[in-house]
Structure 1
Amino acid sequence: MGSKLIDDINKYTSSDSLLVHTQSRGLIRLHCPFKVHVIQSVDSYMVGEELEVVKVKVSPELKLVYIINGKGYYHYHFSIQV
């Protein structure tokens, strides 16, 4: 993806929050930091661990990335705790 597209996405989004749709409350905005559980082991993190997301970003491939302990991880390794 081009850097212009990423710039446009960043213009309308925030690295400090994330929109999430829940069954009980509908669309809500989660502000960082928020908790996630590991559902697919990645690096030294094992399934079931609870971690804290301090920022959210978009990769050049337009995938959602969570910043945890100073490092970026794709969102699909985690489940959001609402």
Structure 2
Amino acid sequence: MGRKLIDDINKYTSSNSILVHSATKGLIRLYCPFTVTVIESVDSFMVWEEVEVVNVKVSKELKLIYIIGNKGYYHYHFSIQV
């Protein structure tokens, strides 16, 4: 992906929140920090453990990254409960 595309995405997104669609609440914005549940073991996190996302980023491949502690993890290792 080109730098221009990432710059355009960053114009409309924020590193301190994400938009989530809930079946019961519709589209909502979650602000950091928010809690996620581990659904696939990654690093030292175990399945069903709850961890706090302190920031969100987008990778060069346009994948959502959760910043937990000081490290980044792909979003698909986690589940959001709203």
Which TM bucket (shorter chain)? over 0.9
Task: Give the deviation of 1:27 after TM superposition.
Answer: 0.4
Identity of aligned residues (%): 77
1:37 & 1:22 partners in 2: Cα distance?
16
Alignment correspondent of 1:58: 58
TM-score of the aligned structures, taking structure 2 as reference length: 0.97
Task: Give the deviation of 1:32 after TM superposition.
Answer: 0.4
Query: Is 1:11 aligned with 2:11?
Result: yes
Unaligned 5+ segments in structure 2 are none
2:81 & 2:34 partners in 1: Cα distance?
8
Write the deviation string for residues 14-50 of structure 1: whole angstroms up to 9, x where unpaired: 0011000001100000000000000000001110110
Unaligned 5+ segments in structure 1 are none
Runs of 4+ in 1 over 4 A off after TM superposition: none
Task: Give the deviation of 1:81 after TM superposition.
Answer: 2.2
Query: Is 1:32 aligned with 2:41?
Result: no
